[in-house]
């Protein structure tokens, strides 16, 4: 029997790239979409295609009336947590692509997921190359003490840092060695220019978020030692294609554990 999927954000940039991929996957079945502006319509028609038989609801709460196994969420930072909580409480597995949540949110979601014996996979970036950046950066942090992150995105992006940059910073803060840079409390001038911090004390990781026209999403991880530097950088292109395969992989796997996992890297060998 196929895994039944509710897709929140079904008419968005990523959502509309997932719809045909779900339709082409024999082991997955899209049973409902969520998109406030198209509620009550057939999803195929909402996307300008032939009727698909998939209903569109205004909220995840309403869509949960349709029997389903997994919620995929690509909506907005302000709504994703409530969507995930509703789905976990209904016993669904949850796949989160939406950015904006951090370690404290995921700790809360983990408690609810365990209470309801459900799994959740959140990835700041479902593309394979961005996932490799995280893997390589975590490896580099074993050998190089100092690291900071630059997070580039479009002028209109709601959240800062990006989901990609935040997941990377939080993961690096878990494994990095204490920085050699001057503590921010000792900085003369405008300390905020040293960026936002994830983690504690000298092990915190500083993220510098740029929001400018022409960028989609880029994350630059800069490791430095005396007289040398290593830069590991990922740049997203203009289409949502790179996120599709990773999202579907997560939807296939997420019923296989209880609690929260963060990062597509947790599903790779």
Ligand X SMILES: NC(=O)C1=CN([C@@H]2O[C@H](COP(=O)(O)OP(=O)(O)OC[C@H]3O[C@@H](n4cnc5c(N)ncnc54)[C@H](O)[C@@H]3O)[C@@H](O)[C@H]2O)C=CC1
Instruction: Report the candidate in 269, 243, 266, 247 with the shortest Cα–Cα distance to residue 93.
Output: 247
d(CA 6, CA 64): 8
Q: In angstroms, rounded to a whole number, what is the distance separating the alpha carbons of residues 101 and 98? A: 8
Stretch that binds ligand X, among 31-39, 87-95, 168-176, 225-233 (CB under 6 A): 31-39
Query: How far from chain centre, in Å, is Cα 94?
Result: 12
Do residues 205 and 145 make contact, with C-beta atoms less than 8 angstroms apart? no
Examine residue 106 and tell whether it contacts ligand X (CB under 6 A).
Answer: no
- Decide: is 12 part of the binding site for ligand X (CB under 6 A): yes
Complex with ligand LZUJQKHR: residue 160 or 258, whichever CB lies closer: 160
Q: Compose the 223-242 pattern: x for residues touching ligand LZUJQKHR by CB under 6 A, - for all others.
A: -------------x------
Minimum CB separation of residue 145 from ligand X in Å reads: 29
DSSP code at position 226: T
Given 163, 165, 195, 196, the residue binding ligand X (CB under 6 A): 163
User: How many CA atoms lie less than 13 Å away from 115 in the CB half-sphere?
Assistant: 12
Q: Does residue 244 belong to the site contacting ligand X (CB under 6 A)?
A: no
Q: In the complex with ligand X, which residue's Cβ is closer, 161 or 223?
A: 161
Residue 36's binding partner among ligand X, ligand LZUJQKHR, none (Cβ under 5 to 8 angstroms by kind) is: ligand X
Span of 23-31, 42-50, 134-142, 157-165 interacting with ligand LZUJQKHR by CB under 6 A:
157-165
SS3 265: helix
Q: Write the DSSP string, 121-170.
A: EE-S--SHHHHHHHHHHHHHTTT--EEEEEEEE-TT-SSSS-HHHHHHHH
Does the footprint of ligand LZUJQKHR cover residue 124 (CB under 6 A)?
yes
Strand 119-122 to 93-96 pairing: parallel
Binding region for ligand X (CB under 6 A):
8-9, 11-15, 34-37, 59, 74-77, 79, 97-100, 123-126, 163, 243
Binding region for ligand LZUJQKHR (CB under 6 A):
99, 124-125, 157, 162-164, 216-217, 236
């Amino acid at each position: 029997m196929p895994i039944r999927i509710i897709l929140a954000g079904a008419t968005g940039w990523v959502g509309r790239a997932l719809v045909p991929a779900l339709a082409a996957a024999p082991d997955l079945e899209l049973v409902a979409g969520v998109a406030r502006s198209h509620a009550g319509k057939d999803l195929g028609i909402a996307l300008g295609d032939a009727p698909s038989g998939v209903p569109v609801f205004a909220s995840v709460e309403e869509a949960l009336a349709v029997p389903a196994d997994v919620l995929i969420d690509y909506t907005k930072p302000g709504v994703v947590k409530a969507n995930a909580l509703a789905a976990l409480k209904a016993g669904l597995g949850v796949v989160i692509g939406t950015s904006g949540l951090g370690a404290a949110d995921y700790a809360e979601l983990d408690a609810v997921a365990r209470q309801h014996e459900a799994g959740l996979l959140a990835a700041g970036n479902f593309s394979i190359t961005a996932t490799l950046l995280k893997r390589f950066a975590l490896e580099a942090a074993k050998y190089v003490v100092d690291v900071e992150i630059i997070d580039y995105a479009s002028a209109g992006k709601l959240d800062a840092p990006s989901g990609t940059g935040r997941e990377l910073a939080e993961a690096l803060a878990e494994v990095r060695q204490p920085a050699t840079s001057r503590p921010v409390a000792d900085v003369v001038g405008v300390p905020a220019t040293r960026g936002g911090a994830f983690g504690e004390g000298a092990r915190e990781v500083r993220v510098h978020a740029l929001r400018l026209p022409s960028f989609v999403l880029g994350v630059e991880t800069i490791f430095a030692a005396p007289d040398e530097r290593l830069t590991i950088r990922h740049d997203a292109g203009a289409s949502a294609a790179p996120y599709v395969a990773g999202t579907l992989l997560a939807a296939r796997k997420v019923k296989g554990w209880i609690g929260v996992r963060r990062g597509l890297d947790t599903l790779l060998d």
